[in-house]
Each structure stands twice: as C-alpha cells, then as structure tokens.
Amino acid sequence: MKQTTWITYTHEQMQELKDITERYKSCLDAGKTERECVELSIRMAEKAGYRDLKAVMAAGEKLKAGDKIYAVNMDKMLALFRIGEEPLSAGMNILGAHIDSPRIDVKQNPLYENEGFAYLDTHYYGGIKKYQWVAQPLSLHGVIVKKDGTVQKVAIGEDESDPVFVITDLLVHLAQEQLEKKASKVIDGEKLDLLIGNCPLDGAVEDKEQKEAVKANILKLLKNKYDMDEEDFSSAELEIVPAGRARDCGMDRSMILSYGQDDRVCAFTSLFAMLDVTEAKKTGCCLLVDKEEIGSVGATGMHSRFFENTVAELVAMTEGESELKVRRALMNSRMLSSDVSAAYDPMFAEAFEKRSSAFFAKGITFNKFTGSRGKSGSNDANAEYIAALRKAMDDAGVAYQFAELGRVDLGGGGTIAYIMANYGMEVIDSGVAVLNMHAPYEVSSKADVYEAVKGYRAFLRM
C-alpha cells in the first residue's frame, strides 16, 4: 500500500497546498449551484485572459495557438479552451467534471400555508438519503426570472445576518413508529418541504387573506425584496442547500468539510489547472457540465450537443469548416472524466474491498471503470491509455492510486465518461476520494485536492 503523501511534502509544497485549498474553499462558498459555479469560473477565466467565444466570432477573428476562449450554455454549462500548437483535428486534452450536486429543488407552485406555518413545496434532486436533510440550517439559492426577462439572483442564508430555513423532523418522543421504518422510508419525499415563516401579515382582514395571513406576509416580503409575485415561482429556479461555509476538518486541519464536493472538488481543481497551464502542444479544454446527478440529460447535460457544436466552431475558426475534422478532433482527444471516488471508510469497512479502495492522502484516484455490478453503464479505459497516464503522473511527481467504487455486488455509480467515449476518444474516470458522498456535508483530504491540481496540470501538458 502506498504511503501517505503528507510525509513527502517539502516546505514549499506545503505552502502551495495551503494556497490551493484555501482558494478551493472560497470557491465552494461562492459556488453552491451550477449557475454560481459558472459565473465564478467565468470571472476567474476572464482575469486569466480568456475571452467569450461569441465575442470572438462576432468580430470575425481566427484563432491561433495560445488563444484562450470560453463558451457558455444557458449559464449552467461552461467550456474553456486554450488553443495548442498542434491542429485541433489532432485532438485535445480534456478535463471534464460536473458542477451540479445533490440537493432539494423548489417546485413551480410551491408556496402554501398549513396551520400557521408557511412552506415551500419541494422535490429532491439526485441521489440523497432524505433523512440527512432534516433538522439542520438550510439556505436558498437561485434565480427568479420575470416575464419581462428581468433576472433576480437569490442567496438567502449564507450571510451571518441572514435568516436560515429548515425541514422539520418528528421529535424522538413520538417517533417509535418512525424509527421502525427502513431508512429510505423514515422521511417521505413529500415531507421535505421547507419551513419559511410563521408570522401573519399585519392588519390582515377577516376573509380568505386572514386564513392565509402567514403566506400573505411571505409574499409581501418577497415583493419588497425581489419585486416578486407568487406567479413568478413558475419561472424561478430555486435550490435548497446546506447553509454555511466550507470548513477545515480535524484537529490537524488536514481535511475539508463542505457541501457540494461531489463534484466541485474535481471541477474547481480542473479549473485551477486549466488556468495555470499557459503553454502546451495540444489544445487544452476544461469542461464543466450540469445534470450529471440525474443522468446527464437535457440541454445543459453531457448528452446535449453543446460541446460538439462548440468544437465545430473552433475547427471552423482554426482549420476551416469541416465536419470530418470535427469528428477527428473528438476521436483523437484524450479525457479525464473527473468525478469523486468513494474513500475507504473504516467505520463501514464491510462495504469496501480494501485492496481496490481509494484512501485519503494517497493522491488522485483513477477508476479504470465505474458502473455497477458487472460493469454495467461504465466506460472501461484501455490499458495503453492508462500506461501513458502513469508515465505522465510519475514524470510530474504526482501521487495517484487506482480504485473501484465499493464491493462488486453492492452497488456502484456512473459518470460522464461513457458519453464522451462514444466519440472514440480515450477516456478514464479520475478524481478525488470523498467521505460522506451525496450527504449534505462531504469530506475531502487537502492532500488529495493538491495532488488533483498537480495531476490535471500534468495531463494538460501530455
């Protein structure tokens, strides 16, 4: 078994590790939704000299080696490209990660009052243990889009002066029947409604308004703060996430505790590497996508044609319009499908096969395949590609490990790897090992975050 990376670092490396992980925590705090992640990533990219592809196209410019551009899809999907010395049709080195995380979404007709309490009706998103989301402080993030196109950003519950929200649970004194249920049934999905108020509107008259005076008060507050009417919920995207900042975890501060590290620990480390690497022979790409947690569907998921269409535009602006060269560019590319891996947890050792598990502070994790049971739904990377990656990581002094997602017959999971592999490109799953995956608060090792950035830099230079 490989040694912990902590004992290998020089003073200079420890300082770089600290700088990277502090920056990473700040990104987690600023990017709690896919929209916020895209907005933050664009600000960082523009500061590093990246330009919007639409503006470059509108100016009629051609692209050349060294040019840095980005393309946005519906504010929830982002692709960054640094044009390399080799033709685009020779392929790209692609870092791909997803920026959506398990959460609870607000429905389109959500606001109601029940026995003097105001609630928002909800629908959970992605694979969660529902019982983990009750009786803890929650915040509300998203956008409200009015009929005239006005967009109001919402972020309530993060500032110390903000109120927070909660999903209530049954008190233990009355929970005998509840505690006899299966964990999947302890909290029903329709009972994950968000408690948002209890105070009635001042001066409510004795009519229907009086019967829903708490709801009326909430609507008044929304009108005052966001110029929002109840009907505007239908064109709003509001996400319920844990309130609070990313924190150091452990007496030794060796870990990070935060919401959304699946998969933003891979997304932000990929972004850091992309912005760090300024010269390479091949075109580099950092692709941040939405909807992975629900199957990569929709216009902003990996199954959409956004990435393929963007590559077609780049080919036209570098080598001339050619469908064949677009296909060559995709087929000749190499990709790290960067998603989190399940870290070995000795408290639940029975769920893991130790020899094939990812461990904290042992470096970036490579998964030759994911899927479930008989490798169903996975991409299975070829040995030649893995050998080339091993050499690149060793040459760059990157700590890495190979792992599977738990015991063979126990479960499993998927990523965006198989979707990109459909183009014929070489793809392997990689990323950071995480404890508490899909829980409101997940744990990562600072050493693995650091090694991920180093590994992604090395990959972009391959």
Cβ neighbours of residue 177 under 8 Å, at least 6 residues apart?
none
Q: Is there a cis peptide before residue 169, judged by omega within 30 degrees of 0?
A: no
DSSP per-residue codes, 171-209? -GGG-HHHHTS-GGGSS-GGG-PEEEE-PPPTT--TTHH
- For domain 103-242, the CATH architecture is Roll (2.30)
Look up residue 125 and give its amino acid.
Y
Q: Does the pTM of the predicted model rise above 0.85?
A: yes
pLDDT value at residue 205: 54
The rounded distance, in Å, linking the Cα atoms of 417 and 283 is: 19
Cβ neighbours of residue 404 under 8 Å, at least 6 residues apart?
353, 356, 357, 367, 369
pLDDT value at residue 2: 78
pLDDT value at residue 203: 67
Residues of the chain with CATH 2.30.250.10: 103-242
The rounded distance, in Å, linking the Cα atoms of 137 and 302 is: 32
**Tokens read off for 147:** 């009929």
Residue 120, beta-bridge partner list? 111, 194
pLDDT value at residue 376: 74
What pLDDT digit, counting tens, does each position of 323-361 carry? 999 999 999 999 999 999 999 999 999 988 899 899 999
DSSP per-residue codes, 361-384? TS-EEEESB-EETTTBT--B--HH
Rounded to an integer, the average pLDDT of 76-105 is: 97
Q: Which of 281, 247, 232, 282 is nearest to 92 (CA)?
A: 282
Least confident of 168-172, 207-211, 235-239, 445-449: 207-211
Confidence of residue 208 (pLDDT cuts 50, 70, 90): low
Confidence of residue 267 (pLDDT cuts 50, 70, 90): very high
Evaluate whether 360 touches 416 at the Cβ level (below 8 Å): no
What does DSSP say about strands 283-289 and 92-98: parallel, antiparallel, or unpaired?
Answer: parallel
Note the helical H segments in 231-358.
261-276, 306-318, 323-331
- DSSP-assigned letter for residue 28: H
Rounded to an integer, the average pLDDT of 283-302 is: 95
pLDDT value at residue 369: 83
Percent of the chain with pLDDT over 90: 89
Instruction: State the residue for tokens 């109601």.
Output: 112
Cβ neighbours of residue 133 under 8 Å, at least 6 residues apart?
104, 124, 167, 187, 192, 440
Through-space distance between the first and last CA atoms of the chain, rounded to whole angstroms? 27
pLDDT value at residue 411: 64
Least confident of 129-138, 188-197, 364-373, 419-428: 364-373
What pLDDT digit, counting tens, does each position of 386-402 carry? 999 999 999 999 999 99
Evaluate whether 198 touches 118 at the Cβ level (below 8 Å): yes
Confidence of residue 1 (pLDDT cuts 50, 70, 90): low
Helix then strand then coil, in percent of the chain rounded to 5, is: 35, 25, 35
Residues of the chain with CATH 3.40.630.10: 5-101+259-460
Note the helical H segments in 240-322.
261-276, 306-318
Query: What is the longest distance spanned by two Cα atoms in the chain?
Result: 77
Torsion of CA 351, 400, 382, 303, to 10 degrees: 70
What pLDDT digit, counting tens, does each position of 398-431 carry? 999 999 876 766 666 678 889 999 999 999 999 9
Confidence of residue 285 (pLDDT cuts 50, 70, 90): very high
What is the CATH topology of the domain spanning 5-101+259-460? Aminopeptidase (3.40.630)
What pLDDT digit, counting tens, does each position of 306-328 carry? 999 999 999 999 999 999 999 99
- DSSP-assigned letter for residue 184: G
- DSSP-assigned letter for residue 172: G
Identify the helix (H) or strand (E) that includes residue 456.
helix 446-460
Determine whether 324 is exposed, middle or buried from the number of CB atoms within 10 Å of its CB (0-12, 13-18, 19+).
exposed
Rounded to an integer, the average pLDDT of 40-47 is: 98
